[in-house]
């Protein structure tokens, strides 16, 4: 099923001209430093946030475990997202902070490498994995939590240059 020139489908890099899924060939791209940062939040009841802050969660230190989970998630991105390239990440930083006014755990992840393809998916996966870990660790206290606003906020490197949200 050939896609018309200029159609949305013809602009998608993981779909070929026949509409089949493909892993993008990056062999001709230049090796550059690539950095991506993503953010997201877990919104919860104030009592749940207080439980995290006080270290009263039976499963352990929520923020430390979620931070580690985010780093591990970034490293496992190609196992989770079809067609993502396995990458040699040079750095993964995940930070979690408490926002008492919004009753939220805010998460930010930055991934880096020198390579032929970007690290946006790794940063987004790190935030998603950390958020899911926060949810898992305190779901017994608060099943109404919401994971919100996971998004790319910055990327640089490669042909498309810099993006800043």
Which of the residues are catalytic?
A: 136
Residue 71: enclosing H or E segment and its boundaries?
Answer: helix 62-75
- Partners of 164 in the β-ladder: 154
Q: In sequence order, what are the residues at sequence separation of 6 or more whose Cβ sits closer than 8 angstroms to the Cβ of residue 69?
A: 129, 130, 132, 133
Determine the 3-state secondary structure of 145 from DSSP: coil
Query: CA-CA distance, 119 to 19, in Å (whole number)?
Result: 25
């Amino acid at each position: 099923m050939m896609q018309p020139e200029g159609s949305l489908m013809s602009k998608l890099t993981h779909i070929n001209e026949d509409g089949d899924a493909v892993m993008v060939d990056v062999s001709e791209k230049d090796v550059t430093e690539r950095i991506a940062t993503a953010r997201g939040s877990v919104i919860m009841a104030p009592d749940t946030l207080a439980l995290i802050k006080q270290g009263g969660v039976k499963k352990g230190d929520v923020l430390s475990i979620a931070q580690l989970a985010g780093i591990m998630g970034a490293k496992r991105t190609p196992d989770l997202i079809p067609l993502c390239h396995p990458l040699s990440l040079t750095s993964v930083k995940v930070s979690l902070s408490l926002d008492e006014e919004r009753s939220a755990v805010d998460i930010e992840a930055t991934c880096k490498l020198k390579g032929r393809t970007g690290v946006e998916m790794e940063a987004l996966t790190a935030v998603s994995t950390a958020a899911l870990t926060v949810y898992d660790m305190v779901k017994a206290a608060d099943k109404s939590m919401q994971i919100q606003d996971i998004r790319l906020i910055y990327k640089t490197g490669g042909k498309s240059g810099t993006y800043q949200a």
